[in-house]
Amino acid sequence: MPVVIDTDFGGDPDDAVALVYALRSRELDVRAVITSDEYKTNHRARLVQQWLKAAGYHIPVFSGHDLGNKNLFLLDDLIEGNEDVLSIFQGDELKKILTNLAADNGRYVSIGGLSNLSYLHVLFPKLWSSIQTTIMGGAVHYHRPGAIEHNIGLDVQSARTIFKSGKKNRWVVSDHTFVPELSVDATHRLYSYFAGNEDFFHMLVRTNMDRFFRTCYPDSRMHDPLTISALFLPTVIFSTQRMIMSATGEFVTAPTATLVEISASANYDCFWADIDAKLFLSPAQKSTGNYSKQKNG
């Protein structure tokens, strides 16, 4: 399945894990990465581009909206050189990729704020009747009453625009991702996997985890990797429900609202089994140290 992934890479490490998982999944063909909630205009995109190239992946990376946030980019010092990145605001390159994504029944996967997707809806209105979208974000019952889920809260206006835009959207809400089953900390085998490989590709993810655990939270929930898995596995069960998104970004049941497709439950054992199968390779494969190029290299 062709995918374009829209990510706030470099904050919560679950984005980096999600990208590694997507790249290791033969079910997916990652056609582009777009960064959201940019830092210093394009730092997330520059880092993703450098990180992908270091592992032999030649995938176009586009810098997206900068919301002016100065927190939650933890990897500034890992950026080397001054290499340019593409931008969603310039050139025809992204239009070509999205046009092909539409023609090939691909999916746009949003695992950050919704500013880019909202902008692209306005820019290319016809394409979105063909492109399916999977979005991590929102909550029906948020774990902190009265608070707004992170990805929605980053840009509520854009989230509401996308929510209202129609039935091509599928939402993985935090009710099914902010759960202990998806918790990863420095004692988890997933941490050991990244800590046990010294190349830049793995080191970056481990560093992302170390800094997040030290400065933000003691663990990270794998919201974004679960969302990736739902593209090709029955890890998330969706149902259609009549809902609106309130002015403050809450998902609220409303009997007269239009139907939206929203996560109803999740199978975490199925998710972890696939992560284990794809990331924890056999000793023979590990000893070659060359498996990062198995797809696009």
Q: What does the alpha-carbon distance between residue 246 and residue 142 come to, in Å, rounded to a whole number?
A: 14
Picking from 172, 155, 285, 161, the residue whose alpha carbon sits closest to that of residue 226 is: 172
Q: What does the alpha-carbon distance between residue 32 and residue 82 come to, in Å, rounded to a whole number?
A: 20
Query: Based on CB atoms, which residue is closest to Ca ion, 49 or 110?
Result: 110
What is the smallest separation between the CB atom of 110 and Ca ion, expressed in angstroms? 9
- Tell me how many residues contact Ca ion (CB under 5 A): 5
Burial 201-236 (b: 16+ CB within 10 A, else e): bbbbbbbbbbebbeeeeebbbbbbbbbbbbbebebb
**33 CB burial (10 A radius; 0-12, 13-18, 19+):** buried
Helix (H, G, I), strand (E, B) or coil at 150: helix
Query: Based on CB atoms, which residue is closest to Ca ion, 15 or 219?
Result: 15
What is the smallest separation between the CB atom of 173 and Ca ion, expressed in angstroms? 14
Span 1-40, contacts to Ca ion by CB under 5 A: 8, 15
Query: Based on CB atoms, which residue is closest to Ca ion, 7 or 25?
Result: 7
Query: Based on CB atoms, which residue is closest to Ca ion, 98 or 109?
Result: 109
What is the smallest separation between the CB atom of 112 and Ca ion, expressed in angstroms? 5
Picking from 243, 228, 205, the residue whose alpha carbon sits closest to that of residue 12 is: 205
Residues 6+ apart with CB under 8 A from 30: 3, 4, 5, 19, 22, 23, 57, 59, 296
Helix (H, G, I), strand (E, B) or coil at 79: coil
What is the smallest separation between the CB atom of 12 and Ca ion, expressed in angstroms? 6
What is the smallest separation between the CB atom of 136 and Ca ion, expressed in angstroms? 7
Contact with Ca ion (CB under 5 A) among 60, 64, 112, 138: 112
137 binds Ca ion (CB under 5 A): no
Query: Based on CB atoms, which residue is closest to Ca ion, 49 or 151?
Result: 151
Burial 78-94 (b: 16+ CB within 10 A, else e): bbeeeeebbbbeeeeeb
Span 207-226, contacts to Ca ion by CB under 5 A: 224
What is the smallest separation between the CB atom of 230 and Ca ion, expressed in angstroms? 15
What is the smallest separation between the CB atom of 8 and Ca ion, expressed in angstroms? 5
Query: Based on CB atoms, which residue is closest to Ca ion, 18 or 266?
Result: 18
Query: Based on CB atoms, which residue is closest to Ca ion, 14 or 250?
Result: 14
111 binds Ca ion (CB under 5 A): yes
| Residues at the contact surface with Ca ion, assessed by CB under 5 A | 8, 15, 111-112, 224
